[in-house]
Amino acid sequence: MIYCPKCKESLGDNITTCPFCFHEITDYERVLIAKEQREEDEKTLHEEILKAEEFSSLRTIWILGTIIFVIVFYLVFIILLFADLTKAALAVFTIGTVFTAIMSLYLILVMKVNNCPHCGRYLFRNWGPYCQWCSGRIR
């Protein structure tokens, strides 16, 4: 798919004259257009990869934070239980269990919904039928 250099309308690959503005597309212009599109696609792909890696690191931090919270939550629960503060221990246990359940469901949803079924990597963009990492069909 190329674009007319004059009116910027989308054209087919084998068209020599733009049907919109009737501009004759030369072979030289065709090469320049292909080069510009390739550079733009590479730039877009690079930006998407950077964003996906950034989100992946944020997701890792989110998971580690949840694990640390669960550990601290159970330590506080055990300390309160051994200090004979059963009502406070039960309140902490209830709040912590609800929070842990919500976080676990969210993490499961994010891991299942936004990953490629072929390569398992995170799909940063949610549009298009193909994975940006392995080019496998996702829809």
Instruction: Give yes or no for a contact between 96 and 104, defined as CB atoms under 8 angstroms apart.
Output: no
Query: Is position 139 within any domain?
Result: no
Total number of domains in the chain: 1
Share above pLDDT 70 across residues of the chain, in percent, rounded to a whole number: 92
Query: Is position 82 within any domain?
Result: yes
The pairing of beta strand 2-3 with beta strand 10-11? antiparallel
Query: Is position 124 within any domain?
Result: no
Instruction: Give yes or no for a contact between 25 and 17, defined as CB atoms under 8 angstroms apart.
Output: yes
Query: Is position 65 within any domain?
Result: yes
Segment 54-77, tens digit of pLDDT: 777 777 887 788 788 888 888 888
Amino acid, res. 41 = D
Angle, helix 86-113 to helix 27-82, in steps of 10 degrees: 160
pTM score, whole prediction: 0.45
Sign of CA dihedral 139, 49, 59, 117: positive
Query: Is position 126 within any domain?
Result: no
By residue range, what is the domain housing residue 37? Answer: 2-113
